């Protein structure tokens, strides 16, 4: 038995047999053509463009996707008809006398390399879209009607080096329930489609294709990002029970929808959701959640070459506010820095961007970018209950500077008689140790606080959560982290400032009782974890609070782990009870 951790793309459990899978490489003709063959090659190119156009159209008809998800696939049509790309390919055929396959291959290879070398997730994920279109075009040029014209069995788990959007929709059409990818991104178009289509998936699994053989028995734990290869009987039976519990749990969803998020001893725990794109509104519409605790605005850059204009942002924020009204929507201002924007010419590269000019400090230093976003959010606040949250705040002085910026924008809107919510709540993320240590002053000044555990853990323990070499040091339940959370809880309580946790810890079952025991009364979770979180909340009782009273800064890591893994298990396990 082997256990390998990757990054969860969509939660859920699945047990099945591995199937190594790769899309056949299209044939590329090399050499040069004769001058008189140029018209024939250009005609061949145009014909293939039409073929791919039809192919994409047929796919859109074959899968029933919400409009915004369908746009992910239809966006490939825009790539297909990009005049600049066509011009480059045609020029290579006319001037370099290349075969159309070689011209297409080289043109797209340059574009894909351009995106990949950015080393920025938001832009690098676009490489997969271009790779998908290139593959389609090359196959059409080679006379291959559809390389995805095969049938998989529902119990199989495709194992891939990389995946493209067209393959995700193909897997869903074939009834596949889960897939694994060696390389991928949570925010890629493929991953967004995966979640929209309800497939369980894990990406970024080290040496996946080497560690897994065809027909290996696999357990895919999409909740924790764990892949188990050839499990022993005890583990297999355990996951079979988990799958059965999950099935029962899903059947109980309707019941949970109409129940309150309240502990067994009568404490109301607000359950909010985290979303990053408007597409996820569809997933949360039936949850009966208490609002959106975190909307990650940096995803407005997904698929963009330029910074989004005020009107574009306003349309997104307005739609959020209107659809969630009267529930609150917490919009986090751009958590961007020079590392993400330097390719667009808005900033210079930095030696250590994670500790550099990012988050609120970047927004304040780039006032034109911040001004555009704040105006868009304020205007949208007239259409629902919006809150603004600033990332990477280090102390109250930092927050007050951001607050003054918003107030200046409010005065300007008033002068032009533009509507906005004059009482819009302004809050700070607690994701840097200094913010937690200064939380009393922040609680006094802010309308609300939210703990971003991902960065708080990373900065407290000096361990990059994406660096496998230091993965063992990234311990979310480390006593140092819990002490910072506890201090923030006490500060918020002193000034009665609403406090939530919007980091990944809030979505992990084993940490939910721990956080509630520490005094957290608002959790903002991923949509897929919502009902599980509510079920756990309802189990929490007075005994939980007694058990977690022992948490303090003198506790050892092993003592915390004993608490979570032994004393708190009744609250997050045996969900079928």
Q: What is the DSSP letter of 175?
A: T
194 part of the active site: no
Given 107, 409, 446, 502, the catalytic residue: 502
> Please, which residues have CB within 8 angstroms of residue 182's CB and are 6 or more apart in sequence?
160, 161, 162, 203, 204, 205, 206, 207, 208, 209
C-alpha 399/C-alpha 401 separation (Å) is: 5
CB 177 within 8 A of CB 200: yes
C-alpha 398/C-alpha 365 separation (Å) is: 12
CB 518 within 8 A of CB 488: no
Instruction: For the sheet with 2-5, list strands across it.
Output: 2-5, 226-229, 217-221, 13-20, 156-160, 178-181, 200-203, 7-10
C-alpha 376/C-alpha 378 separation (Å) is: 6
Q: Which residues are registered as beta bridge partners of 2?
A: 229
502 part of the active site: yes
C-alpha dihedral, 194 to 390 to 533 to 556, nearest 10°: 110
**CB burial readout 274-284, b (16+ within 10 A) else e:** bbbbbbbbbbb
Backbone angles phi, psi at 337, to 5 degrees: -150, -175
CB 49 within 8 A of CB 79: no
CB 475 within 8 A of CB 557: yes
CB 97 within 8 A of CB 33: yes
Other beta carbons within 10 angstroms of residue 517's beta carbon come to 22
C-alpha 39/C-alpha 445 separation (Å) is: 70
* Look-up of token digits 């894909």: 112
C-alpha 173/C-alpha 151 separation (Å) is: 10
DSSP output for 411-443:
HHHHHTT----TT-EEEEEE-SHHHHHTHHHHH
C-alpha 474/C-alpha 505 separation (Å) is: 12
C-alpha distances in angstroms, 292 versus 27, 357, 360, 366, 457?
48, 27, 21, 27, 23
Cα angle: 533, vertex 537, 543; to 5 degrees: 140
Given 107, 189, 289, 477, the catalytic residue: 189
C-alpha 131/C-alpha 405 separation (Å) is: 42
Q: Which residues are registered as beta bridge partners of 463?
A: none
CB 500 within 8 A of CB 451: yes
C-alpha dihedral, 444 to 447 to 452 to 455, nearest 10°: -60
The set of catalytic residues is 189, 502
């Amino acid at each position: 038995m082997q256990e390998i951790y990757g990054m969860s793309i969509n939660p859920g459990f699945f047990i099945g047999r591995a199937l190594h899978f790769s899309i056949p490489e299209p044939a590329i003709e090399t050499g040069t053509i004769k001058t008189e063959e140029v018209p024939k090659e250009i005609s061949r190119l145009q014909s293939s463009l039409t073929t791919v156009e039809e192919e994409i159209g047929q796919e859109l008809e074959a899968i029933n996707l919400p409009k915004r998800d369908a746009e992910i696939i239809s966006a490939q049509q825009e790539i297909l008809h990009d005049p600049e790309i066509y011009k480059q390919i045609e020029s290579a055929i006319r001037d370099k006398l290349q075969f159309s396959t070689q011209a297409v291959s080289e043109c797209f290879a340059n574009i894909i390399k351009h995106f990949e070398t950015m080393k920025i997730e938001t832009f690098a994920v676009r490489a997969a879209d271009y790779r998908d279109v290139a593959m389609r075009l090359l196959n059409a040029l080679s006379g291959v009607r559809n390389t995805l014209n095969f049938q998989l069995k529902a119990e199989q788990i495709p194992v891939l080096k990389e995946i493209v959007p067209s393959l995700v929709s193909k897997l869903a059409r074939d009834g596949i329930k889960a897939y694994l990818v060696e390389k991928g991104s949570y925010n890629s178009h493929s991953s967004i489609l995966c979640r929209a289509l309800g497939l369980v998936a894990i990406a970024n699994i080290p040496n996946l294709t080497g560690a897994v053989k065809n027909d290996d028995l696999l357990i895919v734990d999409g909740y924790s990002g764990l892949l188990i290869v050839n499990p022993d009987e005890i583990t297999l039976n355990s996951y079979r029970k988990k799958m059965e519990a999950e099935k029962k749990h899903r059947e109980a969803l309707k019941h949970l929808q109409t129940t309150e998020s309240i502990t067994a001893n009568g404490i109301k725990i607000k359950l909010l959701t985290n979303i990053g794109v408007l597409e996820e509104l569809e997933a949360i519409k039936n949850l009966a959640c208490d609002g959106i605790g975190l909307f990650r605005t940096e995803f407005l850059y997904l698929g963009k070459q330029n910074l989004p204009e005020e009107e574009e942002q306003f349309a997104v924020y307005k739609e959020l506010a209107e659809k969630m009204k009267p529930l609150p929507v917490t919009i986090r201002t751009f958590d961007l820095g020079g590392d993400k924007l330097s390719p667009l010419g808005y900033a210079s590269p930095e030696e250590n961007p994670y500790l550099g000019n990012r988050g609120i400090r970047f927004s304040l230093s780039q006032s034109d970018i911040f001004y555009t976003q704040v105006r868009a959010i304020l205007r949208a606040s007239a259409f629902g209950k919006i809150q603004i949250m600033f990332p990477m705040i280090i102390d109250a002085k930092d927050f007050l500077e951001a607050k003054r910026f918003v107030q200046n924008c409010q005065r300007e809107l008033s002068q032009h008689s533009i509507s906005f919510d004059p009482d819009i709540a302004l809050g700070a993320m607690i994701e840097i140790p200094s913010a937690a240590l200064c939380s009393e002053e922040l609680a006094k000044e802010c309308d609300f606080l939210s703990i971003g555990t991902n960065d708080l853990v990373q900065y407290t323990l000096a361990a990059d959560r994406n660096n496998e070499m230091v993965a063992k040091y990234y311990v979310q339940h480390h006593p140092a982290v819990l002490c910072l959370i506890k201090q923030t809880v006490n500060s918020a309580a002193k000034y009665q400032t609403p406090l939530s946790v919007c980091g990944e810890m809030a979505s992990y079952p084993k940490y939910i009782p721990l956080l509630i025991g520490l005094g957290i009364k608002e959790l903002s979770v991923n949509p897929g974890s919502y009902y599980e979180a509510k079920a756990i909340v309802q189990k929490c009782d007075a005994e939980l609070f007694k058990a977690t009273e022992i948490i303090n800064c003198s506790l050892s890591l092993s003592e915390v782990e004993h608490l979570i893994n032994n004393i708190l298990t009744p609250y997050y396990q045996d969900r079928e009870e």
